[in-house]
Amino acid sequence: MGYSVKNILIIATGGTIASTDSGDGLVPAIDVKKLISYIPDISGRCNIDGISIMNIDSSNMTPSLMKKVADAVVDNYGDFDGFVVTHGTDTLGYSAANRYAYMLKGLGKPVVFTGSQLPIEHSDTDAKRNLFDAVCFACENVSGVYVVFNGIVIYGTHARKIKTTSFDAFESANIEAAAKVVNGVVVYSGEFSKEKHRYIEYNKYSENDKSDNDSNDTGLYADTDMCEDIMVLKLFPGIKTDIFDYIKEHYRGVIIESFGIGGIPCTAGDEENDSNSSVAEKIGELTEAGIAVVITTQCMYEGVSLDVYEVGHILARQNVIVAKDMTTEAVTMKLMWALAHYTKMTDVKEFMEAL
């Protein structure tokens, strides 16, 4: 079998990488063709094309806009071997996690997210390197969703932004990075399984061959229903518990960033006020009302466990959902997807806690 040149599609969404200075700050304005012009050396590695589907600051990213990116992959899936999504860094971790586990079903090719800390027009930009590296990895014979940033390849569900201005802005949380890109060469980690993440080659299809639903003859389809009636709540010493009454009335799910390995206040905190309930008691009221309660941690590494402390055993009996070592970004998108697809809380819990 001879060497086949890969066809790569860049899907541009805006972000810092595509921004220019408006006089009042950076604004996304550069289209995908201009982005591609900044990496001319990539033409010797693959055939590259691009589409601009939006041009937004990623702070304005929403699940409905995430759907447009998923649809763009599905619509162009049969004509390209890999995809690069240029995206603002602030919500990139949410988008990458969402595509990987939930929106894109039957994905057999690489979808690679990247962005930059400085605009691509800036003299000291990191954008050219990140975009070049992302395209290089999109040419690999692997499948799945990844983030490529500062030479590191991170699984989509484990990418977390940890720095606001430095080039090494993203880190792989609770798992070894999948690979590195060094001078255009991909070096895989010892833990990376090419069998698990193997590239699946499909025949090219024409527009007339596409089925009537959101899929095509490759087997890929976008399942984009998301429930946005959730809240992420970070605990702090002295938090007032009436917020949980509001959650019970207005939301279907809440993700609670607990202390440490799963610490939740289990006393009222104000012993002089008998009417002041503990957080643990309020969580029990939520689960009894059919609200999905996910317990995660404020800590960056090693995840949450309810087996260590007494309060954890109390919470376990209340049928809370344990996020384990998922990032807040990943668990947020997973809960949105779960609540849109399951009505029984036992099914939501089973899906959320599945590896």
Active site residues: 16
Choose among 155, 199, 147: nearest CA to 6: 199
Answer whether 113's CB lies under 8 Å from 147's CB.
Answer: yes
Strand bridging mode 179-182 / 185-188: antiparallel
Burial pattern 197-226, b for ≥16 Cβ within 10 A else e, equals bebeeeeeeeeeebeeebbbebebbbbbeb
Instruction: Identify each DSSP E strand in the chain by its residue range.
Output: 6-14, 19-21, 26-28, 46-56, 82-86, 104-105, 110-114, 144-149, 152-155, 159-161, 170-172, 179-182, 185-188, 221-222, 230-234, 253-258, 292-297, 321-322
Cα angle 199-89-129, degrees, rounded to a multiple of 5? 65
Q: In this structure, what token pair is assigned to residue 310? A: 């007494």
Cα angle 150-62-148, degrees, rounded to a multiple of 5? 15
Choose among 12, 6, 2: nearest CA to 43: 6
Return d(Cα 72, Cα 95) in angstroms, integer. 14
Q: Which phi and psi (to 5°) does residue 256 adopt? A: -105, 115
Residue type, 326: M
Answer whether 225's CB lies under 8 Å from 336's CB.
Answer: no
Return d(Cα 342, Cα 331) in angstroms, integer. 16
Return d(Cα 174, Cα 158) in angstroms, integer. 7
